[in-house]
Amino acid sequence: MSISATREELRILLASFLWSQWAQMGVLANTERSDRWAADPEALLLLTFEVGREEPRLFEEVLDWLIKNERLISVQRLRNLVRDDADRALVEAVLGWLGERRRRPRLEARNGTNGTATDAQPFFRNSSLPVTDPDPAFLAQGLLKPRFEPSAKSQAPDLLLPITFAFRLRQLLGIGARAETARVLLTIGAPRVNVQVLAKSTAYTKRNVQEAVTSLTATGVLFSFEQGNEQVFSIPRDRWAQFLELDQLPTQQDWPQLFAVYRRVLRWLADPAREGLSDYMLSSEMRTLAEEVAPDLRFAGIRTGPAGSDSSYFEKFGQELLDSVPT
């Protein structure tokens, strides 16, 4: 499979997945899915920003959703999930755009490049149309994106659905480490979890998580144990389920790690410098990429085969990534 074919198939799979997720949370779209997992709002946004560079309608409908529902989103956590400069530019461009429509201090963009239309890169990768009226918030981050008028058709999420569990906990516990810690403990497939795992899953610092578990433990809604030389935590899921009037708690996926891999791979595949590489060189570079993203894949429970040294590794790893996209 060629690099362009792999990139296109991955883009299509991810776009379909993202549409199905946002449709369940209030974006104007149709879906027959009713997922039992709890979405990670900020991780989902970051992946949407990247995939949206080749899916204009998806990107702009999610911006429309943000105008209506921005109070449910943690700006701090969104920034915590940033992995590189490409992530940072996307996040700050969207926050700047949102801040122009919702005048709140927390929505002010950071680290703008103060770029001009002549040195900015096109935001939509698959469009050759000239941008005569660039959006200033995106231009400030070096991205050339045309202005648009939001559809104003997005709805508030239904907080009783499993997929919107994070939003429901934020309404109860506030937007911050306590709500994310509770979400992970209530949905993770492990009876006890330490602070290090909670920090990776919540995208907050160990200090923030420690403060959260201390607060929750003090109120009697979280239990603390000594296991070996470390402190671990569990939560009375039956009591929480009864309180929330749920027959079954949502399940957990390690979205931040998995989605970070997808963003990294999409950008790697989009680099035009790789189009002319031989199979051997392409596989060699793919092995390097695979080694770099392996820790995130392992944390997310995705197993890939050994790197090997043959020239077909690009195709093997590419297919493993395609198979990992949730369906």
What's the pLDDT score for residue 114?
59
Q: Which structural domain range is residue 272 located in?
A: 255-324
Range of weakest confidence among 19-33, 37-51, 281-295, 305-319: 305-319
d(CA 293, CA 78): 20
Higher pLDDT, 258 or 128: 258
By percentage, how much of the chain surpasses pLDDT 70?
Answer: 96
Asked if residue 152 and residue 69 are part of one domain, the reply reads yes
Asked if residue 227 and residue 117 are part of one domain, the reply reads yes
Q: Report the chain's mean pLDDT, rounded to a whole number.
A: 92
Helices (H) and strands (E) in the chain, counts: 14, 5
Asked if residue 280 and residue 159 are part of one domain, the reply reads no
d(CA 48, CA 38): 17
Quick one: tokens of 188?
A: 């993770």
In this structure, what CATH number is given to the domain that contains residue 100?
Answer: 1.10.10.10
pLDDT mean over 134-152: 94
Question: How many Cβ atoms from other residues are within 10 Å of residue 305's Cβ?
Answer: 11
Asked if residue 286 and residue 222 are part of one domain, the reply reads no
* Phi and psi angles of residue 144, each rounded to the nearest 5 degrees, phi first: -95, 100
Q: How many domains does the chain have?
A: 2
Asked if residue 310 and residue 204 are part of one domain, the reply reads no
Asked if residue 280 and residue 184 are part of one domain, the reply reads no
Question: Using one digit for the tens of pLDDT, what is the confidence trace for 95-134?
Answer: 999 999 888 888 888 876 555 666 889 999 988 788 889 9
DSSP string, 183-251: HHHHHSSSS-EEHHHHHHHHTS-HHHHHHHHHHHHHTTSSEEEEETTEEEEE--HHHHHHHTT-SSPPB
d(CA 186, CA 216): 13
Single out the residue of 138, 96, 133 nearest to residue 120, CA to CA: 138
- How many C-alpha atoms does 120 have within 13 Å on its Cβ side? 28
Given 254, 284, 299, the domain boundary residue is: 254
Query: Counting beta carbons within 10 angstroms of the beta carbon of residue 129, is it exposed (0 to 12), middle (13 to 18) or buried (19 or more)?
Result: exposed
Asked if residue 267 and residue 191 are part of one domain, the reply reads no
Given 216, 232, 254, the domain boundary residue is: 254
What's the pLDDT score for residue 307?
60
What's the pLDDT score for residue 308?
58
Q: Bridge partners of 102?
A: none
Asked if residue 138 and residue 80 are part of one domain, the reply reads yes
Asked if residue 227 and residue 109 are part of one domain, the reply reads yes
Question: Using one digit for the tens of pLDDT, what is the confidence trace for 43-57?
Answer: 999 999 999 999 999
Q: Could you tell me the end-to-end alpha-carbon distance of the chain, in angstroms, rounded to an integer?
A: 22
Asked if residue 309 and residue 275 are part of one domain, the reply reads yes
d(CA 151, CA 64): 6
Asked if residue 226 and residue 104 are part of one domain, the reply reads yes
Given 236, 254, 272, the domain boundary residue is: 254
Asked if residue 262 and residue 250 are part of one domain, the reply reads no
Question: Using one digit for the tens of pLDDT, what is the confidence trace for 259-289?
Answer: 999 999 999 999 888 888 888 888 888 889 9
